[in-house]
Every structure is written in structure tokens, then in C-alpha cells.
């Protein structure tokens, strides 16, 4: 069995247990009472604290902080744990907290989950397997995530909420109640366009004439009673001499996901 490979500039506690083939990069820190299963990879600058136990083939990217003290004012140094299965990936700046005594003293994570950059997993959370947490997904304490769930970027889940199997939470959606299995949940989109970026364009050297021409084109696009195709035809007709307007029209005509209006 291959021995662990530990960079000379890594800090690994003598009380840590490393399985066969574990790799630890430069400036990584592995604290006491940490157990890493076979084949785990700890990239440079990652920090793993305990008590925590990890199965095989977990990957910890740079600046992830896994197994830290719970962010709970009632925590006063009691022994609590983090228990993680196999094949999970913790990307850059992910944070995972151990449990608290009042919450059962353990945070649990299953197998084959992807935690994208800046994801936070709060204390006493229970996570199943095969889930995807997009960038900056945030789980408060005592959350339950079942299997095959997607939590979109920048989406917070309130404490004690449950998310059922195969649910999909769209980006920037605030979850304050349980999400049923098999469902799709997303915050209503209210994003609107209010015309040209007048101050920004002026600062970038656009003349008053260029700005006014663009503003008139946007007025046709946004405030007329024409649909988008009709508005574009009218804009082409009226402002064909403006390279800025032609760029605008071509951009809209090639949009595959529609445009913000």
C-alpha cells in the first residue's frame, strides 16, 4: 500500500491518521483527531480540523476550511464531530463546521457531493449523497439535504429546513421552508433594464451625441409597444449610421437566452 505523501512545508498533527496514498500539499494544515481515508488529496493551504473522520478519495482544494468549530455562541469547546463519506470534493474557500451538543454533536456528509467555491455547511447539518452545491450556497445549522439535490449559487437555506431528494433550488433563492422532493424552486425574477449606462459611458469618453443616440434606440426597445423584432427593425431603420446601435442590434439578434428588458 502506498504511503502518504506529505510536503515538507505541510503541517500534519502527530494525532492525525492518514490512509494509504493520501497526498498533502505545501502549507496545508491537518489538525489533531483528523482521520483521512485512502486516496484523499489535500491541496496546498487547505485546513482540516477535528475531531473529524473522512472516507476515501475526498479532495480538499486550496483555502478550504473543513471541520472547524461551529459558528454558534453556545459552543464552548465541547467535543463535537464531523463525519464525511467518500468521494466528496471541497473546492476553494469552502467552510464546513462540526456539530454542537444541542444539535446532536455531529455534522454528517455522505458520498460524492460537490461543494463549489465559498459554499458554507453549518453545524449539525446532515447531507446525503450525490448533491451539488454551487458557488456560495449557504446552509445554516441543523439543515437536512437529502440525495441528488442541487442548491444554486448564492442561495441560503434557513436553519432546520429540509430539502427533499432530487430537488432543484435556483440561484439566489432564499429557502425558509422545507423544499419537497422532486420539486424545482426559484425566486421570482424582477430584473429590468432602465436604459443606457449614461454615467459609465460618459466616463469612458462617449460623446453626448453618442449617448443620446443610444438612449433613443433603447427607448424604442424598452418603452414602445413594439415587440423585440419590430423594435429592432425600427432601430435599424432609424439609426443605421450609428456603429454603437448596430452593435446593440447584432448583440440582441444573436442572444440565445433572450435579453433583459
Helix ranges restricted to H, the chain: 198-203, 208-223, 228-238, 243-253
Give me the pLDDT at residue 201, please.
93
Catalytic residue among 25, 141, 142, 152: 141
Query: Catalytic annotation on 19?
Result: no
Weakly modelled stretches of the chain, pLDDT under 50 = none
Catalytic residue among 19, 123, 128, 147: 123
Give me the pLDDT at residue 26, please.
98
Domains of the chain are: 5-185 (2.160.10.10), 198-253 (1.20.1180.10)
Query: Catalytic annotation on 141?
Result: yes
Give me the pLDDT at residue 189, please.
77
Nearest to 145 by CA among 155, 215, 254: 155
**Bond into 192 cis (ω within 30):** no
Please check whether residue 201 is in contact with residue 212, taking contact to mean a CB–CB distance below 8 angstroms. no
Distance CA 132, CA 213 (A): 45
Is 194 strand, coil or helix? coil
Q: What residues form DSSP beta bridges with 5? A: 23
Give me the pLDDT at residue 192, please.
85
Give me the pLDDT at residue 1, please.
72
Give me the pLDDT at residue 166, please.
96
Query: Catalytic annotation on 72?
Result: no
Q: Strands, E, within 16-105: which ranges? A: 17-18, 23-24, 29-30, 34-36, 41-42, 47-48, 52-54, 59-60, 65-68, 81-84, 89-90, 95-97
Give me the pLDDT at residue 135, please.
98
Is 36 strand, coil or helix? strand
Catalytic residue among 124, 128, 142, 147: 124
Amino acid at each position: 500500500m502506498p504511503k502518504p505523501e506529505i510536503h515538507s512545508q505541510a503541517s500534519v498533527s502527530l494525532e492525525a491518521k492518514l490512509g494509504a496514498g493520501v497526498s498533502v500539499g505545501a502549507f496545508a494544515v491537518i489538525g489533531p483527531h483528523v482521520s483521512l481515508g485512502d486516496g484523499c488529496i489535500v491541496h496546498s493551504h487547505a485546513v482540516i480540523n477535528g475531531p473529524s473522520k473522512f472516507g476515501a478519495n475526498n479532495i480538499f482544494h486550496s483555502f478550504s476550511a473543513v471541520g472547524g468549530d461551529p459558528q454558534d455562541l453556545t459552543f464552548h469547546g465541547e467535543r463535537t464531530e464531523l463525519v464525511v463519506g467518500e468521494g466528496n470534493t471541497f473546492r476553494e474557500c469552502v467552510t464546513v463546521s462540526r456539530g454542537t451538543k444541542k444539535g446532536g454533536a455531529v455534522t454528517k456528509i455522505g458520498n460524492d457531493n460537490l461543494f463549489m467555491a465559498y459554499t458554507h455547511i453549518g453545524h449539525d447539518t446532515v447531507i446525503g449523497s450525490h448533491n451539488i452545491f454551487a458557488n456560495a450556497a449557504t446552509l445554516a445549522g441543523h439543515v437536512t439535504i437529502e440525495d441528488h439535490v442541487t442548491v444554486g449559487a448564492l442561495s441560503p437555506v434557513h436553519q432546520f429546513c429540509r430539502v427533499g431528494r432530487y430537488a432543484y433550488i435556483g440561484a439566489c433563492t432564499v429557502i425558509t421552508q422545507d423544499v419537497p422532493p422532486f420539486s424545482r424552486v426559484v425566486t421570482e425574477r424582477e430584473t429590468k433594464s432602465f436604459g443606457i449606462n449614461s454615467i459609465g459611458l460618459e466616463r469612458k469618453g462617449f460623446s453626448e451625441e453618442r449617448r443620446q443616440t443610444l438612449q433613443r434606440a433603447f427607448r424604442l426597445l424598452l418603452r414602445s409597444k413594439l415587440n423585440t423584432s419590430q423594435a429592432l427593425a425600427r432601430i435599424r431603420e432609424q439609426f443605421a449610421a450609428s456603429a454603437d446601435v448596430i452593435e446593440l442590434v447584432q448583440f440582441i439578434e444573436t442572444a440565445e437566452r433572450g435579453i433583459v428588458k
